[in-house]
Structure 1
Amino acid sequence: MAGTESFVFYLVDEFAHLSFSCAVEPLRIANLVSGKPLYEWSFASENGETALSNNGTVVRVHGGFDQPVKADRLFLLAGSNMRNHMTKRLLSALRRERSHGTPVGALCSAAYILAYAGMLDGMRAAIHWAYHDLFVEEFPNVELVPNVFVADEKIITSSGGTATADLMLHLMGETHGADLANEVADQMVYNTVREASATQKVSVQARHGMRNPHLTQAVQIMSESIEDPVPTAEVARQVGISTRQLERLFGQYLERSPSKYYLEMRLQRARNLLLQSEKSVTEIAVATGFRSTTHFARVYRGLFGVSPGGQRARLT
């Protein structure tokens, strides 16, 4: 029987509180249902006293990032505006622990911080879907996947939210067996435990209650061709149906034309990049398939009611 396994959580200010609860509560419940101290955990933050979550909750911590970690696992947890909290102290601590052989993991948006530190190069990684566009643009040496978590790399990553519970239950099952993991899930009234390969976002099929493979393939082609948009006729040709058939499918299931759906997909990515990156409006226009910034600004305002520059100004 394995002894007590210790976890340290580095809490970055504005960390995702949902991910925090989904990380710690399974450990507490495992101790409760087993009647044994299977897990122990502690928290660290920038100031060594408290950490602020994204819902305003303040958590008292046990120390700062300067203190060496003496634990079996270190998880970095971030959330909103993680780019604003990548301090030299935090990056130095992460590199120190990595060099000392401490198993490091990232929850929610924290994979961005590890990638920035160069710790995920050549690996598969998961991050919350809201940061996918930014991540792909900035870290081409990391293989970003849409999975809820990645547990078979040297660095474990989770997309956050309830996916954190999926990860914890997975690790628990590996160490203590499926029976304990299932019992903990039952105590959480959590009956939809997902494997690592599950995807984060609701699929087009599930979201719209349909199972049309032609529409699914068409949406996939579009999503993979944001920078160089594919004409509707070419999408239809690749799918193997006529343009008229494709237009009929989009109208039936998505209530818009293929071209309008494609445009909204590109503009949504542009919005993500405006809010999450420091790229110029021109760079973002090019990255989302617009050759004219004037046209880009016009259609952006048409969808979101604000210009690209105005969208970014709202953050200040």
Structure 2
Amino acid sequence: MKSYRSFIPKSAAYFPVKDALPPRDIHFVLLPRFTMLALSSAIEPLRVANQLSQHELYRWHTVADTPAAASSCGVELNVQSSLNGLQTAGQLFVCSGTDPRNAASERTMQALRRISRMGGKIGALCTGAFTLARMGLLRDRRFTLHWENQASFREVYPDLQSSERIFEIDGPLLTCGGGHAATDMMLALITADYGKAFAQAVGDMCLHGVPRPPETPQKTSFAFAHNARNRHVTAAIEIMQRDLESPLCLDEIARECGCSRRQLERQFKKLLRTPPAKYHRNLRLDFAHSLLIETNMQLLDVAVAAGFTSRTQFSRCFSERFGTPPSKIGTPPCAGNPTNRETKQ
């Protein structure tokens, strides 16, 4: 009996494919707390391609080093095969999600290194780039990961520069930011295999619409999100986001934006109902929060990375924003993670 991986359902819609290639096997390595949205967004275009063509163009396989993998939403999936027994040298994607830095166990890392030595093409969905960086696969490569995790990624791997695009294809290396960007990346793969018209038909069946090009940014612009056309406020926020570690004073930001400090304060209060200094501080505190969640950095190092010169001031501001001191955020000290954030003064 055929498994659901290769089952080709009957369909009212049909798109003939001439000269179908041998079935292409794609393996998805599920790490703890992987994101279900990214996984399903990657697999469904493959299923739809089979359905539309009535050919087994693609086969997909879920693998892990455990019998089941828990997603970030708590749903567990039984995997179809063990990563340790995988002998393929084909296409493989590391699927990660929350808490990605050490999501891959040492056993998983050993298996992935073995597959890489065999010539396997290893890519990543969502935050899987953390695992690829641990393997040394990203140096001098174009790659991306989810925008929420890029700041902490830069702190852990300062020599690696991720892009802010929805997906990247750099030779055999395919990475995407997760979510529906996984569909766009798979549609690009289908385009390379069977042409633009067929990929567009797959996108229409997924109700995805026109496939987005890789250079599409992951986040909507501030102006679009807030329906704002104030160039001074937009420029100021871009400067604030650019200089989290070495923040400029408000006078310097206003000068770069081509307005006075008082003008900028009035425009922020009118548009965002908050003073620009507070908005800037909150950006830095949110950045610090992500570092505490995703890294083992000491409190003082986190404070400095977020542009605070005093740990006391940082702790006070952090507690005001989040209702809890920064020392209570993140993974507690344990075996394999012995860092005590309070030890380094």
TM-score class, shorter: over 0.9
Tell me, yes or no, if structure 1 residue 283 matches structure 2 residue 327: no
Q: 1:145 to 1:313 in 2, by over 3 A?
A: closer
The structure 2 residue matched to 1:215, chosen from 233, 250, 275, is 233
The structure 1 residue matched to 2:321, chosen from 294, 299, 303, is 303
Tell me, yes or no, if structure 1 residue 46 matches structure 2 residue 65: yes
SS in 1 for 2:140: coil
Q: Is the 8 A contact 2:99 2:293 kept in 1?
A: no
The structure number with the bigger radius of gyration is 2
Report the equivalent of 1:134.
Answer: 152
Report the equivalent of 1:59.
Answer: 77
- TM-superposed CA distance for 1:212, in Å, is 2.9
RMSD: 1.9
Q: 1:176 to 1:313 in 2, by over 3 A?
A: closer
- TM-superposed CA distance for 1:134, in Å, is 1.0
The structure 2 residue matched to 1:170, chosen from 169, 174, 188, is 188
* 1:263 counterpart letter in structure 2: R
The structure 1 residue matched to 2:163, chosen from 142, 145, 149, is 145
**Cα distance per residue 1:270-311 (max 9 Å; x no partner):** 000111110011110011111111111111111111111123
Query: Which has the larger helix fraction?
Result: 1
- TM-superposed CA distance for 1:242, in Å, is 1.9
Q: 1:223 to 1:180 in 2, by over 3 A?
A: same
Q: Is the 8 A contact 1:30 1:38 kept in 2?
A: yes
Report the equivalent of 1:197.
Answer: 215
Q: Is the 8 A contact 1:124 1:153 kept in 2?
A: no
Q: 1:199 to 1:290 in 2, by over 3 A?
A: same
- TM-superposed CA distance for 1:50, in Å, is 2.4
The structure 2 residue matched to 1:19, chosen from 23, 38, 41, is 38
**Cα distance per residue 1:102-130 (max 9 Å; x no partner):** 11100011111111222112222211122
Q: Is the 8 A contact 1:124 1:142 kept in 2?
A: no
SS in 1 for 2:29: strand
Q: Is the 8 A contact 1:65 1:89 kept in 2?
A: no
Distance 2:260 2:127 in 1: 41
- When normalised by structure 1's length, the TM-score is 0.94
Q: Provide the identity percentage.
A: 34
Report the equivalent of 1:183.
Answer: 201
Tell me, yes or no, if structure 1 residue 119 matches structure 2 residue 137: yes
- TM-superposed CA distance for 1:199, in Å, is 1.5
Tell me, yes or no, if structure 1 residue 35 matches structure 2 residue 60: no
Q: 1:254 to 1:193 in 2, by over 3 A?
A: farther
SS in 1 for 2:77: strand
Identify unmatched segments of 5+ residues in structure 2.
1-18, 335-345
Q: 1:38 to 1:120 in 2, by over 3 A?
A: same
SS in 2 for 1:83: coil
Q: Is the 8 A contact 1:159 1:200 kept in 2?
A: yes
Moved >3 Å (runs of 4+) = 312-316
